[in-house]
């Protein structure tokens, strides 16, 4: 990897800042000052020092984002702001969201550059549980709850797998599903004659949304969370 790219991805510099810094002699590789910003760095074994501090390269990065409404779950979009726009200061060009939340849905979204983890979490074969808090138009009857739990027919997608419903308040429920069909929660509620008026995802598998992450804020996943997600 080129030295300027390495510095962009590790110390949050723009490409121009990285080049200027290297030209000024602020970087060294394996103890030797390098002023050529195109110098090829082996990111797994070279020791890069920038402004007298060693810099290590992370191949994979993992974040938990509390997605705000109004952002689309994509890497770029001709019209809307994307969740990746919130990560501009990370200086990485390879981040993407794991799965999708609707533009108006808020809550837990994992952002990474690890395609294998993303596949593991979103593959229909793996049945990873996702829990949502949904505000709904009117209370569910016992029969509605039974139907949601047993599975409802979603046009074009078949019958949903067994789900869990936890009634928190007359018009607020927690719904846990293990699939990721398009607009699944909204369509499931519609199938029992109800309507979702707001939706928030609060967990994916073993990882839950942090209470102290405000909408639009994110943090690194801990080593323990990454390990649990990969299991």
Q: Which residues lie near ligand URA (CB under 6 A)? A: 101-102, 105, 183-186, 199
Cα gap 133→105, rounded to integer Å: 10
Kindly state the helix (H) or strand (E) to which residue 225 belongs, with its residue range: helix 223-230
Shortest distance in whole angstroms from residue 150 CB to ligand URA:
18
Shortest distance in whole angstroms from residue 186 CB to ligand URA:
4
Helix 142-150, helix 184-191: angle, nearest 10: 130
Helix 115-122, helix 223-230: angle, nearest 10: 60
Shortest distance in whole angstroms from residue 40 CB to ligand URA:
42
Strand order in the sheet with 53-55: 32-33, 27-29, 48-50, 53-55
Smaller CB distance to ligand URA: residue 36 or 80?
80
Shortest distance in whole angstroms from residue 208 CB to ligand URA:
16
Does the annotation mark 142 as catalytic?
no
Smaller CB distance to ligand URA: residue 19 or 130?
130
Burial label, 231 (beta-carbon count in 10 A; 0-12, 13-18, 19+): exposed
- The one catalytic residue in 102, 104, 142, 210 is 102
Smaller CB distance to ligand URA: residue 92 or 100?
100
Cα gap 42→57, rounded to integer Å: 10
Smaller CB distance to ligand URA: residue 172 or 183?
183
Cα gap 111→217, rounded to integer Å: 12
Catalytic residue numbers, as ranges: 102
């Amino acid at each position: 990897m080129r030295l300027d790219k390495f510095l962009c991805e590790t110390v949050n510099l723009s490409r121009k800042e990285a080049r200027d810094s290297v030209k000024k002699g602020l970087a060294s590789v394996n103890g030797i000052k390098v002023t050529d910003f195109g110098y090829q760095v082996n990111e797994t074994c070279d020791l890069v020092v920038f402004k007298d501090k060693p810099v290590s390269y992370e191949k994979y990065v993992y974040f938990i984002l509390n997605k705000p409404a109004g952002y689309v779950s994509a890497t770029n979009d001709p019209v809307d702001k994307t969740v990746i726009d919130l990560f501009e200061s990370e200086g990485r060009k390879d981040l993407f969201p794991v799965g999708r939340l609707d533009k108006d849905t808020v809550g837990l979204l994992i952002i990474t550059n690890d395609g294998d983890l993303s596949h593991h979490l979103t593959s229909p074969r793996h049945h990873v549980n996702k829990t949502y808090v949904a505000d709904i138009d009117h209370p569910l009857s016992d029969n509605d709850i039974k139907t949601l739990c047993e599975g409802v027919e979603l046009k074009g997608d078949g019958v949903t797998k067994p789900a869990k419903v936890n009634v928190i308040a007359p018009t607020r429920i927690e719904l846990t599903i293990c699939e990721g069909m398009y607009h699944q929660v909204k369509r499931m509620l519609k199938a029992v004659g109800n309507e979702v008026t707001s939706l928030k995802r609060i967990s994916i598998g073993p990882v839950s949304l942090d209470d102290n992450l405000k909408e639009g804020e994110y943090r690194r996943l801990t080593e323990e969370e990454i390990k649990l997600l990969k299991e």
